[in-house]
Copies of this chain bind each other. A is one copy, B any other.
Amino acid sequence: AATLAAYALMLGDDALVMSHRVSEWTSNAPDLEDDIALSNIALDLLGQARLLLARAAKADASVVPVLPEGSPAPPEDALAYFREAHDFRNVRLAELDNGDFAEATVRVLLFSVWRLATWERLRASSDHVLAAVAVKGVKELAYHRDYAARWFVTLAQGTQESRARLLVAYDALWPLWPELFDTHEVEAAAAEQGFGVDPGGVREAAEAVLDQVLAAADVPRSEAARRVGVLGRTGRDGMHGEPLSRMLAEMQSVARAHPRGQW
């Protein structure tokens, strides 16, 4: 149960943090259609996060932070609003500060290609909740991927400026791609126990998809090297970058100011 909870938290934190970053685009996108599309992506991921955090709490109540007596916050909110940065288990790709629209395009593309490759297998999870989340999520992620892939190609083939920006964003994010496929011991155990997916096993499938997009965009595979962690630890180990604690300071400010609040 501890492994299931830890595994569900990883998947949930990925979605929660990525959703937050994407939601920052609301009212800031290049056009109304994109504002709507990005809000949609943020909403889908938020929905995934809620189900996964709830699953984690149900699997092992000890992962849920203890709130002041009388707090009516449900477990999903206790987990989202009352953990510190080092308790979060998301991959570092999700947490970076937002850049320009090219950055958003590449980030959503990498994130959803990876997540989709994993979740296609997660549909066969022995945990019925995870399996159900994955069945629904796969459809959502396919939409996210297609949206980002379309923009990836458009920007790459649009103007000189858009291509230049896209390439900068691609090279800037590529160093975080290998981390997505590292197998954390929790993930290994989850795969072993039949309810999780070893991300190491889906790299080939994910890269095959990505290569199609790169080919359509006429963009060569980046040669940027992997970004190392701190003492070998990365996002899955709770070792994050500076942007996450800043993001959480904002995200958690109202909830923490009113730990007994009803919302």
Which A residues fall within an 8 A CB radius of B? 84, 246, 248-250, 252-254, 256-257
Contact = CB atoms under 8 A, between A and B. Distances in A.
Nearest to A253: B249
A257 B256 contact: yes
Copies of this protein in the complex: 2
Contacts of A250: 246, 249-250
A259 to B, nearest CB: 10
Nearest to A252: B253
Q: State the majority secondary structure of interface residues on A.
A: helix
12 contacts: A84-B257, A246-B250, A248-B253, A249-B249, A249-B250, A249-B253, A249-B254, A250-B250, A252-B253, A253-B253, A256-B256, A256-B257
A253 B254 CA distance: 10
A98 to B, nearest CB: 16
A103 B84 CA distance: 35
Contacts of A246: 250
A84 B248 CA distance: 18
A256 B254 CA distance: 11
Contacts of A257: 84, 256
Nearest to A249: B253
Given A249-B249, A249-B254, 10 more contacts: A84-B257, A246-B250, A248-B253, A249-B250, A249-B253, A250-B250, A252-B253, A253-B253, A256-B256, A256-B257
Nearest to A245: B253
Nearest to A251: B249
Nearest to A246: B250
A246 B253 CA distance: 9
Contacts of A256: 256-257
Contacts of A252: 253
A249 B252 CA distance: 9
